[in-house]
Amino acid sequence: MSVQYQGIRALRTLLDSRKASATELAQESLQLARASASLNAFTDIRDELTLAQAKAADARLASGEQSALLGIPMAHKDIFVTQGWASTAGSNMLKGYLSPFDAEVVDRLNKAGMVNVGKVNCDEFAMGSSNEKSAFGPCHNPWDTQAVPGGSSGGSAVAVASGVVPMATGTDTGGSIRQPASLCGITGIKPTYGSCSRYGMIAYASSLDQAGPMARTAEDCALVLNAMVGFDTKDSTSVERPRAGQEDFTGLLGQPLKNGDATQPLKGLRVGLPAEFFCDGLSADVRAPIDAALRQLEQLGATLVNISLPRTELSIPAYYVIAPAEASSNLSRFDGVRYGHRASDYTDLKSMYENSRSEGFGLEVQRRIMIGAYVLSHGYYDAYYLQAQKVRRLIAQDFQSAFTQCDVIAGPVSPTVAWNIGALNADPIQMYLADIYTLGASLAGLPGMSVPVGFGQGNRPVGMQLIGNYFQEGELLAVADHYQRHSDWHLRTPA
């Protein structure tokens, strides 16, 4: 059996039956990564490091150790620092940087025995919705190489969608796991803010950034999330809960929810449909497969409930004030003095700062730094940043009001299917608007995921978004899993 397009469960069977070794799986994944080089998904591949991890996994398997992820190949978004591999955040500012330590998420997956095939492309410092804003160049959608894969975790989505690895890490600040998962036809989940450690994750917006898995199925995401989630004393934004790191996100998979039974496992589950998600801005070719998926949930016993998230439109201006403000603060550390790019031509300290940052940062990052510095400046802080934070609180309250009427919220991830590379580069506002359905959950810190539900214009994938209340990832994954047991969109592969 080939590694390509196989899920974690199938590869686990291969390894446990000794029909393949971790080293053999890693070797094939490395070959697939190089064979798909035209997609520009991988930014750093180091065979010796990958095979060393695979050899260690084989030794653990030979000793009789059994675990869900041991020996499984994967890839890391280039926003996580990884010892040995270059960690650049897709930016020339960190070109060639080798971290002396692993991010906490990387360390947890290493301990689980996963084998890293390499680092994958992302929008620079995770700022973008298309994976075109990378110093390594744009990533290409495997369903149509003229199309963007979505961003910022585009490389992660492409590595999974093209079958190189069964799973890759991503980060979601305003939709950067859910949107590329939708545009590439895979499953991805952003857990509740604070669930996964941000230690060693190169920061964009500290109150929004959250790590999560991207894989072919909800089951695979659940298996990986088991290893990723947990309290970390090294991260001040990590949430300490009594059972943090002990949850089994696979526990509800395949089990009836609420009042469900074998024939209608979702009976009693209330699925909220926000009116603001199904208005004129949603293209018909995206709405049709989502409507079909909602009918499937009804057949499984779920009840569809009309709800409202009245401040949905305000999520865009609120996000694009708060996130750039935090970015301008986080990226001030890259000044050419301690690490990162330093300009070769400067006359004094001030010109070194200016030249190093102008050369090291791309235009989109510079744009967001300037916006952030402006809204935090004297005279504008109260008018913009403080007001945006108040709107953020109101958006979170809207979700809590909605959850009194429903258990799970469903809707589109993106207003359209993937657009062509370069199509929106001249109009950044239009690209920002592509995040309209994902930003609210990020601002509220809620868990959200994307599930493949069909195809739109040009045979480009469409994903349905599921949003749950705080720390309800298990329920979200169970709903997605029930849907995937009665559909095959997640099993489709690009030609």
One of 21, 29, 77, 190 is an active-site residue; which one?
77
For residue 414, indicate whether it is catalytic: no
For residue 152, indicate whether it is catalytic: yes
One of 176, 238, 414, 442 is an active-site residue; which one?
176
Position 255, amino acid: Q
Q: Provide the CB-side half-sphere exposure for 134 (13 A, CA).
A: 33
Distance CA 346, CA 311 (A): 47
Supply 141's token pair: 């959608």
Helix (H, G, I), strand (E, B) or coil at 89: coil
Helix (H, G, I), strand (E, B) or coil at 173: coil
For residue 176, indicate whether it is catalytic: yes
One of 152, 156, 197, 356 is an active-site residue; which one?
152
Which residues participate in catalysis according to the annotation? 77, 152, 176
